[in-house]
């Protein structure tokens, strides 16, 4: 099912494949995101001493919600929402 989601929603990174490793791990291969993830952005803001701009927070929140709406319309539940 995940492979069919490729390039269908701009707020979901592209999934390529997954595989088991050493019988106890699951590895997921996704597209490379050169700007990092939301956690990287939060860390950079904190390091620079900047306060979060409400527009930036709204921008991130809308992207997250749009991605979740897309998944929920496909009857997919994401159970691990976090910035990392």
pLDDT digits (tens, 9 = 90+) for 22-78: 888 888 888 888 888 888 888 988 899 888 889 988 998 999 899 889 888 888 777
Residue 35 lies in a domain: yes
Q: CA end-to-end span of the chain, whole Å?
A: 23
Residue 61 belongs to some domain of the structure: yes
Is residue 18 domain-resident?
Answer: yes
In a domain, 81, yes or no: no
DSSP 82: -
Structural domains of the chain, count: 1
Instruction: Tell whether 32 is covered by a domain.
Output: yes
82 found inside a domain: no
Show which residues are catalytic.
80
CA dist., res. 21 & res. 25, Å (int): 5
What does the alpha-carbon distance between residue 49 and residue 75 come to, in Å, rounded to a whole number? Answer: 40
Does any domain span residue 36?
yes
The residue range of the domain holding 6 is 2-73
pTM above 0.75, yes or no: no
Residue 80 or 39, more confident: 39
Rounded Cα distance between 78 and 72, Å, is 8
Does some domain include residue 54? Answer: yes
């Amino acid at each position: 099912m995940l492979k069919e989601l490729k390039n269908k929603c701009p707020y979901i990174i592209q999934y390529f494949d997954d595989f088991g490793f050493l019988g106890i791990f699951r590895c997921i291969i996704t597209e490379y995101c050169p700007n990092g993830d939301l956690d990287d952005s939060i860390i950079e803001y904190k390091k620079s001493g900047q306060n979060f701009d409400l527009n930036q927070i709204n921008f991130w929140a809308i992207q997250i919600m749009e991605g979740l709406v897309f998944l929920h319309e496909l009857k997919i539940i994401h159970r691990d929402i976090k910035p990392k």
